[in-house]
Amino acid sequence: MSRFYKMMPTERIQHRDERPILIVLHQERSSPGRVGQLLVEKGYRLDIRRPVLGEPLPATLEDHAGAVVFGGPMSANDPDEFIKKEIDWIQVPLREKRPFLGICLGAQMLVHHLGGKVQANTDGSTEIGWYPLHPTEKGRLLMHWPKMVYHFHREGFELPHGADLLAEGDAYPNQAFRYDGNAWGLQFHAELTRVMMHRWVVHGAHRFILPNAQQGREHLEGRMLFDAPLRAWLTEFLDLVFEGKAAKAAHPITLPA
């Protein structure tokens, strides 16, 4: 069933919530990567579950500090029963006003749950590699954003009704949003460790022929150039999601819920 990860007591960092964060993964060998590492460094425990393997999601998040739903090779439009159940489950953090972060597929599931469309561009273009990110005015009010981010997807999403668009892209315009104060969606991947990126480049090489996709060497070269600011951004962004803090925002204010 679920597995819990935590730091040794002598290493533990004090934070506001002692409950674990629910981590939802979509493959047997998937990892929460850098997101998991940073959350543990911040003092959180991780409750890791894989619905695709039959592991259930909790009926309430009363015993959790929030939830992160990660990406995967499947689509939010797939007919698989676990996909439908997971999309329906998103009502739990939304109803209970618990911190929720969806990354790539996780963001698309959130959009699907909120009634928005998840679909590919009509020209078949992808975002596979490093691409520019453009924060909106509302995004800049929250924090500084990296100039380049890493992608690995063939579908994008509509902005859900009532959501605040925080960052835009060139091929797929909707890159980051916040909904109802506590739910966040990211189209890009900030969670990849070096090992994860090397694995994705090897196992995903057959997709580099797709329109707008970059070649493997560009993925790895881009990491050397752009990964450090992306990691720094992720550290602050996780504080914003789970603690409501934006200590180094461009303007020290928070958007209204």
Q: H-helix or E-strand containing 24?
A: strand 21-24
| HSE, side-chain direction, 13 A CA sphere, residue 90 | 29
pLDDT at 256: 44
Residue 32 CB contacts under 8 Å (≥ 6 apart), including other chains: 23, 25, 39, 46, 48, 68, 70, 191
* pTM summary value: 0.90
Torsion of CA 188, 149, 158, 34, to 10 degrees: 20
- CATH code that applies to domain 3-243: 3.40.50.880
118-165: pLDDT as tens digits:
999 999 999 999 999 999 999 999 999 999 999 999 999 999 999 999
Mind listing the pLDDT tens digit for each residue in 187-200? Answer: 999 999 999 999 99
Q: What pLDDT tens digit does each residue of the chain (257 aa) get? A: 445 554 444 344 454 588 999 999 999 999 999 999 999 999 999 999 999 999 999 999 999 999 999 999 999 999 999 999 999 999 999 999 999 999 999 999 999 999 999 999 999 999 999 999 999 999 999 999 999 999 999 999 999 999 999 999 999 999 999 999 999 999 999 999 999 999 999 999 999 999 999 999 999 999 999 999 999 999 999 999 999 976 444 444 444 44
If you ran DSSP here, which 8-state letter would residue 178 be given?
Answer: E
Helix, coil or strand: residue 126: coil
Structure tokens that stand for 217 in this block: 């060497």
Q: CA-to-CA distance for 88 and 221, rounded, in angstroms?
A: 39
Active site residues: 104, 189, 191
Beta strands in 90-234 (DSSP E): 100-103, 118-119, 127-132, 134-135, 148-153, 156-157, 164-168, 174-179, 183-186
